[in-house]
Amino acid sequence: MDSSPILAVRGLRRSIDSGTHVVDILKGIDFEIPRGQFVAIMGASGSGKSTLLGLLAGLDTPSAGSILVDGVEIAGMEEDRLASLRGQKIGFVFQSYQLIPTLTAEENVLLPLELSGDGRGGADRARRLLETVGLADRLDHYPVQLSGGEQQRVALARAFVLAPPILLADEPTGNLDSTNGRHVLDLLMSLNKREGTTLILVTHDRSLAGYADRVITLSDGLVVADELRETPALTYDR
């Protein structure tokens, strides 16, 4: 296995110029994440968690510093190349699911394959993933016809369809009740284990962070704790 880190962040800063004043959201962040690690990023509201996640995914451009994704510098990379890189290397799970409302469950899962120009061969994998998340009978349903838990499970299938080396999850259970939240988390962990993905989870839920190999805590735009656990406080077994 490649021993180089899948993600490396050095001197990362992000400021927003609102026109009248400049707000520093991230004030200099450094860390490396090895392959296959499950990292939870924690912090209070406004600490800079989501901004950091956006920067790691190349959804946003840093004001300073560097971000290496699988050895490739993405800070300052051109927008369309970033999009391609995301398609190949990064899967996403959002708090509010973010399915395309006009596509069916199956079509939503197929979308990343089609965007990468590989739509034809992926139908089987999409269907298998939807079976894995328990939605084999919901392939032709539109998002509006699915419950919140079901929508998030479709989003999970979509995130894994290209077998990305990195999966970024932003409060994936934040909009779900505890039963559905638990179910989605179970699926996320099992898929992560099966696919050997590096999982980076943004949450303010301590119990959720308890499953992680490592917990990075942010406060006021800085890393205030970086806790590596030999054994996660909570172990996942199913």
Partner 1 sequence: MTGNFRWRTAAKIAWRESRASAVKFGFVVLAVAVGVGSLTGVRGFSTAFHAMLLREARTLMAADLSARMFRMPDAAQLAVIEDLKKQGVRETQITETLTMVSSPKTQTPVLVSAKAIDPAVYPFYGEVEFDPPAALATALTPEVVGLSADLMMRLNVAPGDSIRLGGMDYRVLGMVSKEPDKMAGSLNIGPRLLMSRDGLARTALLNEGSRAAQRFLFKLPPAGTSGAPGVEDVRQRLKKAFPDAMVIDFRETNPIITRGLNRSTMFLSLISLIALIVGSIGVATAIRSHLEQKLDSIAVMKCLGARSGQIVRIYIIQTLALGLAGGVLGALLGGVVQLAFPFLISRYFPVPPSFAWDGASLAQGLITALLATLLFTLPPLLAIRDIRPSLILRREMSDGPRRRNWRSAVTAGAILIGLGALAAWIAGGKPMDALQLGGYFAGGIAVALISLGAVAWLLLRSMKYVVRTRALPSSLRHGFANLYRPGNQAQAVLVALGLGVMFTVTIYLVQRSMLQEMAASAPPGMPNVFLLDIQPSQRDEVAAILDRQKNLAQKPEIVPSVAVRMTHVNGKRVEELDLKGFSRRFLQTRNVTWSEAKPPQTTVTAGAWWSSNAAGQVSIGEDAARILQLTPGATLDFTAAGQSIQARVAAVHRSDAIRMGATADFIFSPKTLETLPAIFYGGLRMPPTEVPALQRTLYERFPTVTVVNIADVINTVQDVVDQIALVVRFVSAFAIMAGVVILASSVAGTRFRRIREVVILKTLGATRARISRIFSAEFLVLGATAGLMGSLLAMAFSNLVLIQFFEGQWKFDWLPLATSVALTALLANAAGWIASARILGQKPLEVLRAE
The site for partner 1 (CB under 8 A) is made up of 16-19, 50-51, 53-54, 57, 59-60, 79-80, 83-88, 92, 94, 98-103, 107, 111-112, 114-119, 158, 162, 170
* Shortest reach from residue 114's CB to partner 1, in Å: 5
Q: How far is the CB of 123 from partner 1 (least distance, A)?
A: 13
Beta bridge partners of 16: 23
SS3 of 108, please?
helix
In this complex, which beta carbon is closest to partner 1, that of residue 6 or of residue 93?
A: 93
Q: Minimum Å distance from CB 60 to partner 1?
A: 4
Which of residues 79 and 230 has its CB atom nearest to partner 1 in the complex? 79
d(CA 169, CA 224): 21
Residue closer to partner 1 (CB basis): 116 or 132: 116
Torsion over CA of 166, 161, 132 and 187, rounded to 10 degrees?
Answer: 20
Give the position of tokens 């992000």: 14
**133: helix, strand or coil:** coil
Name the minimum Å distance from CB 18 to partner 1. Answer: 6
Query: At its nearest, how many Å lie between partner 1 and the CB of residue 142?
Result: 9
Rounded to whole angstroms, the Cα distance separating 235 from 212 reads 9
Q: Which is nearer to partner 1, 31 or 94 (CB)?
A: 94
d(CA 50, CA 28): 15
Both tokens assigned to 229 = 């656990």
Task: Read off the tokens for 18.
Answer: 């609102």
Rank residues 148 and 210 by Cβ distance to partner 1 and give the closer one. Answer: 148
Residue (of 157, 66, 41, 77) closest to 110 by Cα position: 157
Pick between residue 61 and residue 180 the one whose CB is nearest to partner 1: 61
Q: How far is the CB of 79 from partner 1 (least distance, A)?
A: 6
Counting every residue written for the chain, the total comes to 238
